Amino acid sequence: MRLSVLAVAMAMSASVVSAIDLIEIKGRHFYNKATGDPFFIKGVDYQPGGSSGFKTGADPLSDPDKCARDIYLFQKLGINTIRVYSVDPEVNHDKCMTLLAAAGIYLVLDVNSPLLNQHLHDLEPWTTYTQKYLEHVFQVIEVFSGYDNTLAFLAGNEVVHTAGSEKVVPRYLKALVRDMKGYITNHIHRIIPVGYSNADHVEFRVSLAEYLSCGSVGYIDFFAVNSYQWCGKNTFSGSGYDVLVNDYGNYSLPIFFSEYGCNLVRPRIFQETEALFSDKMTGVFSGGLIYEFTNETANYGIVQMSTNGKDATILPEFDTLQKVHAAASSPKIPSGATENPRITKCQPKSYYWNITGDSDLPDTLGASFIKDGVTKGKWVKGKFLEEKDLTLSTTSTIKDTAGKEVTDKKVKVVASIKQDPIPSGGHGLNTGGGVGEGYVPDSPDNNNGTSGNNTDSAAGSVQFAFGTVLAGALAAALATL
């Protein structure tokens, strides 16, 4: 949160409401920047109407009344994060994002949508990796970077999935991450982590994670996994979660479930949620997002919307998950958890099992945007509103599992939404972004096959970046007193 020194002092003295704090990465976990406590993602995937129903002119974060309805339910569910798959950067999100922040809830946001020129094709990515596509990506980043509760951006979701995609998509994903980070460095005032959401294919579970995290250009800040392997009543080893934890045991970056919640056995009892926030997993995993909030055609939802999309009925699995979340209220990093350095030199492309891990990245088609930004004036960073401007209670009808109408539907304000003006320009630090260079100079594929295992501490590099930004902000605040 960008607060003046005086405001910080006032916030410390008034303990009823605390600021919505920034979340940072140190090593292989997320942390609350203000308190220093580990931050575990406890959330849901949120795209009412499903991705196939997405159209321009509206999105899940553009209707204040519907946001009030669902944020009330988010609080009831006991979550701290939502994931949204598709947004329209041309519509206003200030009210919904401010209300989320006031409720203490963060956003993990995909930068893609199913619409034309807004995603990468999984088998022919070169046909969709275009200037128009990158412009859309940068527009989303520009708008949502203004909100302190924007926790992270996802460069893609299961783009490596269809047979054959593992050979052609990885280098385009790495190029996209490079481009996103280049734009953030030059035009966004704070570091916002960039990652990827992976379909949990065992054949490239580890190799894709390793490839996307290596090198000095285009490396991700975290890796996310869509996992549905724990079904019904099971055990840590019987579900294969022990293998999952072991496979990522030596990984250097934060990992979380970007989707989870098998529905093959009903009703769901969410034993996997208990495991996810236990010491068996918290040394490696940083929580996860249940798939999904609203009930769509695949029948994963925990809330049923009316046919007009306005009213909501809580389903029994909502109550079950609420109880499981409450029982897992204070996850901790176990004392024996290890930290591993990030590999700063990529291996030859033949090294990465079952994928083509090519370090010769395509040249960016977004160099002009990375240098000059998206059109000024049209694309403006979002901002928090004052509490008096918020819709805290919805006009929608909400019914509980017994069919009884809920009367007290008011969102509880638990975090401060005071926000100083956003400084112009970018944070200016090298976090693996680029401005058009497709060539990766330290890749073995580009130096006659000479391999290396150069590493650095992900904790050190990312923490240094945050520390530099903090020092600048503190100096600026002191200068105003």
210 has catalytic annotation: no
How many angstroms separate the CA atoms of 166 and 188, rounded?
31
166 has catalytic annotation: no
Name the DSSP class of 436: S
3-state SS of the chain: helix, strand, coil percent to 5? 30, 15, 55
CB proximity list for 440: less than 8 A, separation 6 or greater = 215, 216, 217, 218, 346, 359, 360, 361, 446
Which of 135, 259, 272, 317 is an active site residue? 259
Structure tokens at 211: 């490839």
What is the number of residues in the chain? 481
Task: Report the sign of the C-alpha dihedral through residues 165, 166, 171, 173, in that order.
Answer: positive
DSSP, collapsed to helix, strand or coil, labels residue 343 as strand
How many angstroms separate the CA atoms of 211 and 458, rounded?
15
Tell me, what amino acid is at 162? T
Is residue 312 within a helix (H) or strand (E), and if so which, with residue range?
strand 312-314
Q: Does the bond joining 210 to the residue before it have cis omega, within 30 degrees of 0? A: no
Tell me, what amino acid is at 77? L
Across the strands, what pairs with 225? Answer: 198, 257
Residue 455: burial class (beta carbons within 10 Å; 0-12, 13-18, 19+) = middle
DSSP string computed for 388-429: GGS--B-SS-EE-TTSPBP---BPP--EE---PPPPSS----
Backbone angles phi, psi at 277, to 5 degrees: -100, 15
Q: How far is CA 316 from the centre of its chain?
A: 27
Contact assessment for residue 253 and residue 8, using Cβ atoms and an 8 Å cutoff: no
Which of 158, 296, 387, 437 is an active site residue? 158
DSSP string computed for 276-304: HTSTTTTTTEEEEEES-SB--TT---SEE
Cα angle value 333/1/251 (rounded, 5°): 30
Active site residues: 158, 259
